C-alpha cells in the first residue's frame, strides 16, 4: 500500500536529551531512524513525519532524526515543540523540513498570547506551516480559537473522543472544524480504541462533518508509548507497547482506512499534499 507515516517519534543516540525517552519494546533500544526502517520490514512509507515527543526535554531529537533521515535519502518532515522560551524554535521553524509546531492541551489550555507566539504565527501563516494540537476536545476548542484562522490545524489522535457515551465536547470540536475549514483530524485511531468497530463510528462522524480531505489515518505513533487509555478491564495496567508493534499498527490503520472506502486518500493523498512530499 502507499502510505505516509505522519506521526512517529524517532530519537538519536548522538544527543543528550534522551532521559525519559521510551525504548522500543521489540529491540530494547531507542527508536532511531535506522531501527524504524528495519522494523517496518519492507512496508516503507513514501514519507515520514517526525513529531515532538511530549516528554522530551527539547526538540533536538526531531532535528537530529531529520538530519539522519536526509542522509538516508528518505523524504522526511518534522513537527517541533511549540516552546517559545527556547530561542531555537523560531530558527528551526525556518527550516524547509519543519512543517509546524506541536501544542499540548491535555492538562489545560496553554497561553499562546505572548509576542513570541504572535511572531511565530505570523511567520507560519506566511510560509504555510501548521499547528499540531494534542489534548481533550474541550481544551482543543479553546486552544484552536486562539490560533489565527489562516493557519492550518491538525488534531492529534482524532481529538481523543469518548466512545463510552455521547461526547458533546467532541461534537463541538467537529462543528468548529467545519466552520473553520482548515482543521484536519489525524490518527492512527488506536488510542480511541483498539477495537476498529468502535473507532469506525468516530471516523464516520469526522468524514460527515469535514470530509475525506481533512482526514489522515497513516500514522504509527511508534514507539507506542504510554498507558492504554481505553476503559476496558482487559487493558488495565497495559501500555500500548505491550499490545502494538509496527506489523499490528499497519494492519490496524489499513483496515480502518479501507473501512472508509477511500484508503488511498486517507493514508496517502491528503498527507502528500499537506507535507509536500
pLDDT for 93-103, tens place per residue?
999 999 999 99
Backbone angles phi, psi at 6, to 5 degrees: -90, 5
Provide the residue ranges of all domains of the chain, joining segments of one domain with +: 5-275
Architecture of the domain delimited by 5-275: Alpha-Beta Barrel (3.20)
Residues composing the chain: 277
Q: How far apart are CA 164 and CA 115, in angstroms?
A: 41
pLDDT for 212-252, tens place per residue?
999 999 999 999 999 998 888 899 999 999 999 999 999 99
pTM of the model: 0.96
Backbone angles phi, psi at 250, to 5 degrees: -70, -40
Amino acid at each position: 500500500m502507499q502510505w505516509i507515516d505522519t506521526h512517529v517519534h524517532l530519537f538519536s543516540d548522538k544527543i543528550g536529551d534522551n532521559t525519559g525517552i521510551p525504548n522500543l519494546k521489540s529491540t530494547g533500544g531507542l527508536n532511531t531512524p535506522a531501527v524504524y526502517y528495519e522494523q517496518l520490514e519492507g512496508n516503507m512509507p513514501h514519507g515520514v513525519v517526525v513529531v515532538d515527543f511530549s516528554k522530551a526535554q527539547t526538540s533536538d531529537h526531531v532535528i537530529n532524526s531529520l538530519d539522519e533521515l536526509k542522509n538516508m535519502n528518505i523524504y522526511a518532515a518534522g513537527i517541533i515543540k511549540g516552546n517559545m522560551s527556547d530561542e531555537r524554535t523560531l530558527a528551526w521553524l525556518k527550516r524547509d523540513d519543519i512543517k509546524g509546531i506541536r501544542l499540548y492541551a491535555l492538562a489545560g489550555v496553554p497561553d499562546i498570547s505572548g509576542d513570541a507566539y504572535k511572531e511565530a504565527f505570523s511567520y507560519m501563516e506566511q510560509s504555510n506551516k501548521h499547528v499540531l494540537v494534542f489534548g481533550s476536545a474541550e481544551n482543543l476548542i479553546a486552544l484552536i480559537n486562539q490560533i489565527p484562522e489562516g493557519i492550518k490545524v491538525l488534531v492529534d489522535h482524532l481529538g481523543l473522543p469518548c466512545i463510552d457515551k455521547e461526547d458533546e465536547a467532541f461534537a463541538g470540536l467537529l462543528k468548529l472544524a467545519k466552520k473553520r475549514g482548515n482543521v484536519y483530524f489525524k490518527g492512527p485511531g488506536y488510542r480511541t480504541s483498539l477495537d476498529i468497530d468502535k473507532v469506525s463510528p468516530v471516523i464516520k462522524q469526522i468524514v460527515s462533518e469535514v470530509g475525506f480531505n481533512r482526514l489522515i489515518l497513516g500514522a504509527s505513533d511508534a514507539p507506542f508509548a504510554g498507558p492504554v487509555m481505553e476503559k476496558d478491564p482487559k487493558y488495565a495496567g497495559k501500555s500500548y507497547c505491550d499490545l502494538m508493534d509496527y506489523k499490528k499498527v499497519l494492519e490496524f490503520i489499513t483496515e480502518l482506512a479501507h473501512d472508509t472506502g477511500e484508503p488511498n486518500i486517507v493514508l496517502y493523498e491528503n498527507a502528500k499534499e499537506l507535507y509536500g512530499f
